[in-house]
Chain A
Amino acid sequence: MDELLRVEKLRKYFPVNLGFFRSLTSKNEIFVKAVDNVSFDIKKKEIFGLAGESGSGKTTTGRLVLRLIEPTGGKAIFEGKNIFDQQVDPRTLRRQMQMIFQDPYESLNPRFTVYDIISEPLKIHHVFHSEKQIEDKVIERLEEVKMTPPQQFLLRYPHELSGGQRQRVALARSLILDPEFVVADEPVSMLDVSIRAEVLNLMFDLIQKHNVSFLYITHDLALARHICDRIGIMYLGKIVEMSVAEKIVYEPLHPYTKALIIAVPIPDPNAKRSEAVIKGEIPSPINPPSGCRFHTRCPSYIGDICRTKEPELVDVGGEHYVACHLYGK
């Protein structure tokens, strides 16, 4: 299979600042295990979704695979090379990997014009030698994101644009270097419903057109299922289930995935209201529960094994992976 990125046992532990007095009394450093032994792969031209509640480590994973933050351990192999290798210059990576951030009100420099924002990557990477070529490329990308006529937008500042237009500028910027891989962290969660669909469709069309692979990070399963080829469900720094989008939604195996899907509100009054909402909230990642991390909230708790032994992510057939003792051998 044409594989673009393979992540193996990726870990990121953030140290917790205890303060002066507690650091004197406690011997061990305390860590937030934001990402703990996460493995997955992304194929060429694939949209891979990472979904989960806040605090599940999905954003940290997204930042790690771009090497925006350094990992505690693990590998990310992009086109045969481990991107965490000290010999690899992050700058050469960035030409092939880009990111779209969640908040279009904070991810665009307010002092830059649209032209400055979109052309900056070209200038950093010295892609073209003449200003004319840069300008042509920027105009081409603006047309692609349906900001027409482009001349009207080139000299505008972000505050003169609506939320949807800003996110389209961010999309144009992320694609200006013709990257092979883009991480999109909740790109439409700040946008209005009527505008969200427009940005999503545009993104989807451009992914197809430019053959980009996407890592799509979201908390909204309905949305994830809509645009992703495969989805990984994260809980407290681990992937608990991973499969093609339709299987995750229609045949979920892990009790957490089932609970997530039940909890998604359905915009249809005729749909059956299921009352089986799991209780409690996501535990602290500083002291995650032993064994299976979901056992404290799990409705299908099967006994001591869940509390003591950590389930492995196993293949249950047909590229459907699940980490749960109900399915392990």
Chain B
Amino acid sequence: MPLMDVSDLKMFYHTSAGYVRAVDGLTFKVDSGKGLGIVGESGCGKTSIAITLMKILPRNARIFGGKIIFNGEDLVPMKESEIRKNIRWSGISLIFQGAMNALNPVFRIDDQIAEAIKLHEPGVSQKEAKERIGKLFELVGIDPSRASNYPHEFSGGMKQRACIAMALACNPKMLISDEPSTALDVIIAAQILKLMRELKERLNLAMIVISHDLSIVTETCEEAAIVYAGKVAEFGDIYGIFKEPLHPYTQGLLSAFPSIKAQKTRLISIPGSPPDLTRPPPGCRFHPRCKYAMEICRKQVPALIETEQNHFAACHLVNPVSGGEPSNG
């Protein structure tokens, strides 16, 4: 049984212009010890997915349907107090985008982490918390003697490491990280990605990595979900997706990316820009930018279909192999 099983999840923001359909029928699974990468452009609802899974929604956002089964329990109908007690931090924790600004500048780093520990595990004393922080710092590769520093005394890479340590403070089963390496330099980013890979294996964590950068996802994850305008366009094993991308959007993303090692070819861009999510296009949401768009694409929303073992795509061009069952998309 997967650790997290999300099906047909919908989360909309209520704005003066109408509902923004940021997460619209999202379906995926994550296992312990495995990484899932969520890839998409800005404005396609990536960060909205993260805050929906944690249920830390702003006041104008609401979950309109679907299930988030985590460890056998559905998080959607669960009470806020229960989620805070049993799920957040001890079950799922989140590393926010821009770790440099996620730490409070006027508190010492160990005090900030201790606060989280004591809030979620009231029995822990200050001394035990500090000991645990020392171990966490060793785990993420910072000298434990620096624990009582202030955030401004840390470099960008160290702050990101401290944020990872903080996320791991209550032994979560799952770690969600939103753009873990943007705003970091190449070498520092490579160090952080390596750390995340090691932690995933050592602690048997389920990991969700949210990024606009396909290469970051391939460095850290085994599976990927390509998201376009709040919906999953393609999902599956990362080797399958790279070997044979099925959705035109995935194909476009792959050819828009320069690789340092591959043959030098002209980059191929995807014309147009992502749609306005208050009024998403009818049918397949990608059809206005798709070079293969057919009549049916304008009318009917394609279902997410399994074409081969652990490779799903939501596109009218893709025919299911015999025996493939359409899943709810």
Contact = CB atoms under 8 A, between A and B. Distances in A.
Interface string B204-215: 000000001111
Interface stretch (A130-138, A193-201, A306-314): A193-201
Given A265-B218, A267-B254, A275-B194, A193 B271 contact: no
B186 A266 contact: no
B261 A266 contact: yes
Given A261-B260, A265-B193, A268-B242, A226 B267 contact: yes
B41 interface: yes
Given A54-B185, A219-B185, A263-B190, A273 B219 contact: yes
Interface stretch (A76-84, A111-119, A167-175, A276-284): A276-284
Given A249-B260, A268-B259, A269-B238, A194 B186 contact: no
A214 B238 CA distance: 37
A222 interface: yes
B247 to A, nearest CB: 13
A162 B239 CA distance: 34
A53 interface: yes
Contacts of A150: none
B126 interface: no
Contact of B187 (A192, A223, A226, A278): A278
Interface residues of B, number: 44
B152 to A, nearest CB: 14
A292 to B, nearest CB: 17
A164 interface: yes
A193 B238 contact: no
A194 B258 contact: no
A222 B242 contact: no
A313 to B, nearest CB: 22
Contacts of B268: 197
Nearest to A246: B264
Interface string B148-186: 000000011100000000000000000000000000011
A286 interface: no
Contacts, number: 124
Residue of B185, B260, B264, B269 ringed by the most chain A CB atoms within 10 A:
B260
Contacts of A196: 256, 267, 269
Contacts of B271: 198
A282 B187 CA distance: 10
A222 B213 contact: no
A267 B190 contact: no
Contacts of B191: 277, 279
B218 A269 contact: yes
A275 B268 CA distance: 31
A266 B185 contact: no
A270 B218 CA distance: 9
B60 interface: no
B188 interface: yes
A225 B253 contact: no
27 contacts: A53-B185, A53-B187, A193-B257, A195-B270, A197-B257, A201-B266, A220-B186, A223-B258, A225-B258, A225-B264, A263-B187, A264-B190, A265-B213, A265-B216, A265-B218, A266-B218, A266-B259, A267-B214, A268-B261, A268-B262, A269-B238, A269-B239, A270-B242, A271-B261, A277-B190, A279-B191, A281-B156
